[in-house]
Amino acid sequence: MNNFNERVSKSIEFAGELICKSKHAVILTGAGISTPSGIPDFRSEGTGLWSYDEPLVVASLSTFRYHPELFYEWMRPLISCILNAQPNPAHLAIARMEQAGYIKAIITQNIDNLHQKAGSRHVYETHGSIQSMSCTQCFQKTASDFFIKPLIEAGTLPVCQKCGGLLKPDVILFGEQMPNTAWQTAQKAARTCDLMLVAGSSLEVLPVAGLPMQALDRGAHLIIINQTPTYLGVRADVLILEDVARVIPAIAEQVLNG
C-alpha cells in the first residue's frame, strides 16, 4: 500500500473501514493539507510563515486598520502563491470520497479555495477566503479577481469602486471574529457527525481546534492524519503521523475500491 510500513498500512485499512461504516463523516483540514501544493503553513519550524514574521504585527485587524500597506505587503506573496497553487492528491481524494457520498462536509481553516478547485462542494471556510473582499466603508462585498493583479504586480491597494473605501480580503485576521454562518455550520457538522477525520491540522488554533472534541463528546469516531502530534492523539481511533498527500489517497482507495 504505497510503500507504507505494516503499522501505517493497518491504520489506513482501519480508517477506511470506519469511513465505510459511518453514516455522516466530516473532514477538518488545516494548513498541512495545502503545503504539498506549495502553500507554506504558519507554524512549521524554519518554513512556516510565523518563522519569519510576527503574526500580531503583520496579520492582525489593528495592523490592517492603521497600516494597511504593511498588511498588504506581507499578503502579496501569499496571495500570489495561493492563486498559482493546484489541488494535490489529498484534496482530490477527499473530493472523490465526497462525490461518492462517504464524506458529507469539509470544514477547513484554509483560505486557498483548493478544496473547491478539487471538486468538493460542501466546504465550510471557518477562516474565510481570498476569493472575495469587503469594503471597510460601505461594506459592499465584491469578487477579488479585478484587484488581485494590480496588488500583486504593483502593490496597488484595492479600493471600492462604489465609494472609494479600502477593501479588505474576506479572511479572518488576529483580533477578528469568525464568519458567523460558516462557523455555526461547522459547529453543527461537528456535533452531528459520527466520524471526524482531521487532516493536516496541528489543532492549536481555537476555536476550530475544539471541534474534534465536540464530535468526540457526542460519540463520534476520530481519525487524525498529521505530520506532527496533536493534543487529541490519545483520543483518536486512528492516528497516522505521515504526509497527508500520501495517506489520504490511500484511505480513499480503501474506501472506494476495498
Number of residues that make up the chain: 258
Q: Residue written as cell 476555536?
A: 207
Q: Which three cell numbers stand for residue 19?
A: 469511513
Q: Which helix (H) or strand (E) holds 246?
A: helix 244-257
Q: Structure pTM?
A: 0.91
pLDDT of residue 42: 59
- CATH class assigned to 40-84+129-171: alpha beta
More confident residue, 179 or 199: 199
Domain boundaries, the chain: 1-39+87-127+178-258, 40-84+129-171
Q: What is the DSSP letter of 172?
A: P
pLDDT at 175 over 90: no
> Residue 30 CA to chain centroid, in angstroms?
4
pLDDT of 185-243, one tens digit each?
A: 999 999 999 999 999 999 998 899 999 999 999 999 999 999 999 999 999 999 999 99
Percentage with pLDDT > 70 across the chain: 93
User: Is beta strand 141-143 parallel, antiparallel or unpaired with respect to 128-135?
Assistant: antiparallel
For residue 240, give Cα distances in angstroms to 136, 166, 200, 244.
43, 44, 11, 9
> Residue 59 CA to chain centroid, in angstroms?
17
Contact present, 19 and 199 (Cβ < 8 Å): no
Catalytic one of 91, 115, 127, 221? 127
pLDDT at 171 over 90: yes
Q: Which CATH superfamily is domain 1-39+87-127+178-258 in?
A: TPP-binding domain (3.40.50.1220)
Q: What is the mean pLDDT of the chain?
A: 92
pLDDT at 52 over 60: no
The verdict on whether 127 is a catalytic residue reads yes
pLDDT of 129-165, one tens digit each?
A: 999 999 999 999 999 999 999 999 999 999 999 999 9
pLDDT at 48 over 80: no
pLDDT at 178 over 90: no
Integer-rounded Cα Rg, in Å, for the chain is: 19
